[in-house]
Amino acid sequence: MTIQYDGTDFHGWQVQAIGRTVQGDIENALSIIYPNEKITLLGAGRTDAGVHALGLTANVKLPSKLSSNELMQALNGNLNQDIRIDLAEVVEDDFHARFSATAREYEYRFVKLFSPVTRNYTTHLKWEIDKNLLNECAELLPGKHDFTSFCKATAEVENKNCTVFYSNWDELDDKLIFNIKANRFLQHMVRYLTGTMLEVARGRYTLADFKSLLKNEKTEAVVVRAPAHGLFLKKVYYD
């Protein structure tokens, strides 16, 4: 299934002991439809608290033969308005939303002028930004890199190599949008990359600092994590 959600009121995707989560809400809706079954939803990724999704995918094994459309309607009827199932379809038995994916795409939205209306969906740029430096940083990312410097220090994943397919900044009216697509992302990776690029663009760090971090070399610069609001998981790709 393909899911979109407003992440503002969620403690992220993954079920937790305390706090509302996207996975938890959908599993609760499934338990209403299938009251005698223990159902686990497998997501393509785990978004942080406050991060939104336009097209996160997940799969689940279900005990009965509701049609895809019937399932989608039943789920949406039991979900709050900040989650919606946009698509439900039957997949092969060996399909896994996370491990079958070939790429993920994110979008980060920034605004120059603060707006209370869009505050949960954009991050306010508080400083003057050199857009040329932003683009120079983004141009360094495509290709295969070890992103150890740009992930959560306690990340349990041993392999921190990711292949970035494209990375760029777009300007639209008063918005500045960072786009990135890669085969995989580490925990907080997009937020660390974006926050650190902005530090370069505001003059706190140099482009050489960013290059050193990307190569995991010693530097006085430290990565900076951008806020969760404004970040959207746009799409998950499959062959």
Active-site residue list: 48
Q: Where are the alpha helices (DSSP H) in 68-226?
A: 68-77, 131-139, 189-201, 207-214
d(CA 145, CA 216): 10
Using left for φ > 0, alpha for ψ between -120 and 50, and beta otherwise, residue 195 falls in alpha
Spatial distance between the Cα atoms of 192 and 89, rounded to a whole number of angstroms: 34
- Beta strand 83-87 with 2-5 is antiparallel
| DSSP type of residue 124 | E
- Closest by CA position to 212, among listed 196, 195, 191: 196
- Identity at 69, one-letter amino acid code: N
